[in-house]
Amino acid sequence: MNSQATRPRLLRPEGRERSEVAPIELFFDLVYVFTIIQVSHTLLDHLTWFGFAEVAVLFGAVWWAWNYSAWAMNWLDPSSGLVRVLNGLLMLAALGMALALPHAFAEDGLLFAGCYVAAQVGRPAFMAVAMRGHVLAKNYTNLLAWSASAGVLFLAGAFLDTVPRLIVWAVALLIDVSGPRFEFRFPGLGSAPMHTWPTDAAHLAERNRLVFIIALGESILIMGNTLYGMDPITTRAVLASLFGFVGLFVMWWAYFALAGHDTQASQGDVSTSALRSAFAYAHALMVAGAIVVAVSIELRITHEHTDPALVLTTVGGPLVYLAGNILFLRSRTGAVARERYFATTALVVIGVLGLTLGHSVPPIVVGLAVVLVMTTLAVATQLRSKRQEDAGAEATE
């Protein structure tokens, strides 16, 4: 029987509204407002290399749980009662992960791992049953095998001490995240090639845009809460907040001015392999960069002197964002504008100078230098995008 002959009842309907993000998806993302706050605050409390490694693994798990949920909704009918219940259960699992996150490498490790595994195993199991008669049922069976294998390690790691737990969880996350790269090939099940996943680029683009905005919003919450808690509010804190806001604005500008971001369904490579790199992987880096930017803003508001943690987060956030930005462009268009490499080089130079000069450079100067680089990038991106639009309009005349 042809895998497409029987249309599953829960499959997302075709038509004009196919790519729209449904209310249940918007509601689902609200949990990640709290989750991103937890990630940034956990990083603030663990500003060491070991702490960064811990938070990187925790964020990776949080992101991958969100990512697989967003992709599942690429195919599920959001008006179905069963699909809404599934999203509700996944929200509870995400909330449990968020609550456990600050102490996931201490007493709350089992709660974090249990909620992650419940989401990562329950979702593909639901999809494999719901999509019976469709190629996605076979695909999700393979995905289930990969996530279940990673889940065993996640649960086992929850019973270990901090260092071995970090190692085991990092390996488990690597297994889960690498599944798409290996087309979910599993002994006895074969593979699930990317071309057999019929994706909707416009829907995925919108989901990822929204979660990126949520990540930027965390910085605004941090600025407001930090200033509100200060008594008195110093001129230095106000200036640091102002430059922080400008930095957020130009990061948003650089993202949405990027040629193709507003019309990702029709521009660039829309193969599932390209979308996997552009959204599952590249956007993970961009969202992570936005979270590190939020941390750097609080450090610049509250610190009078420049230290390595302040410099590394101030420069590192935009660098991680740009790494994702470059991966996105390479995935969708195969080319990257040279201004992104110039900006990356300039940020590295600022970081080296900041670490070298240390206390002799005020935090606000480091922040201002980074803002100038990102503002230049945003303007250059806008101008390049405008030229491409004009060239395209002329070509169609």
Which band of pLDDT confidence, cut at 50, 70 and 90, is reported for residue 2?
Answer: very low
Q: Which among 117, 181, 127 has a CA at the least distance from the CA of 149?
A: 117
User: Mean per-residue pLDDT for 254-261?
Assistant: 67
Q: What is the pLDDT of residue 263?
A: 43
User: Does this model's pTM top 0.85?
Assistant: yes
What is d(CA 64, CA 30) in angstroms, rounded to the nearest whole number? Answer: 16
What is d(CA 98, CA 326) in angstroms, rounded to the nearest whole number? Answer: 29
Phi/psi of residue 191, nearest 5 degrees: -125, 170
Paired residues of 186 in beta bridges:
190
Q: What is the pLDDT of residue 334?
A: 81
Which band of pLDDT confidence, cut at 50, 70 and 90, is reported for residue 260?
Answer: very low
pLDDT greater than 80 at residue 368: yes
pLDDT greater than 60 at residue 372: yes
Q: What is the pLDDT of residue 395?
A: 59
**Residue 218, token pair as written in the block:** 């965390």
Q: Is 58 exposed, middle or buried (0-12, 13-18, 19+ CB in 10 A)?
A: buried
Tell the residue number behind the tokens 């019976």, with chain if given.
Answer: 132
* Mean pLDDT computed over every residue of the chain: 91
Which band of pLDDT confidence, cut at 50, 70 and 90, is reported for residue 264?
Answer: very low
Residues 6 or more apart in contact with residue 30 via CB below 8 angstroms: none
**Residue 264, token pair as written in the block:** 């990702």
- Residue 125: how many other CB atoms lie within 10 Å: 16
pLDDT tens digits along 46-86: 999 999 999 999 999 999 999 999 999 999 999 999 999 99
CA distances 286 to 59, 92, 162, 323, Å, are 12, 25, 28, 8
pLDDT greater than 70 at residue 170: yes
What is d(CA 336, CA 253) in angstroms, rounded to the nearest whole number? Answer: 17
Is there a contact between 104 and 58 (Cβ–Cβ < 8 Å)?
yes
pLDDT greater than 90 at residue 168: yes
Q: What is the pLDDT of residue 315?
A: 97
Paired residues of 11 in beta bridges:
76
Three-state SS letters, the chain:
CCCCCCCCCCECCCCCCCCCCCHHHHHHHHHHHHHHHHHHHHHHHCCCHHHHHHHHHHHHHHHHHHHHHHHHCCCECCCCHHHHHHHHHHHHHHHHHHHHHHHCCCCCHHHHHHHHHHHHHHHHHHHHHHCCCCHHHHHHHHHHHHHHHHHHHHHHHCCCCHHHHHHHHHHHHHHHHHCHHHCCCECCCECCCHHHCCCCHHHHHHHHHHHHHHHHHHHHHHHHHHHHCCCCCCHHHHHHHHHHHHHHHHHHHHHHHCCCCCCCCCCCCCCHHHHHHHHHHHHHHHHHHHHHHHHHHHHHHHCCCCCHHHHHHHHHHHHHHHHHHHHHHHHHCCCCCHHHHHHHHHHHHHHHHHHHHHHHCCHHHHHHHHHHHHHHHHHHHHHHHHHHHHHHHHHHC
Is there a contact between 95 and 31 (Cβ–Cβ < 8 Å)?
yes
Q: What is the pLDDT of residue 57?
A: 98
User: Mean per-residue pLDDT for 291-309?
Assistant: 94
206 alpha-carbon distance from chain centroid: 13
Is there a contact between 42 and 57 (Cβ–Cβ < 8 Å)?
no
Which band of pLDDT confidence, cut at 50, 70 and 90, is reported for residue 333?
Answer: confident
**Residue 276, token pair as written in the block:** 């996997």
User: Mean per-residue pLDDT for 113-129?
Assistant: 97
User: Mean per-residue pLDDT for 311-323?
Assistant: 96
Residues 6 or more apart in contact with residue 135 via CB below 8 angstroms: 3, 4, 196, 198
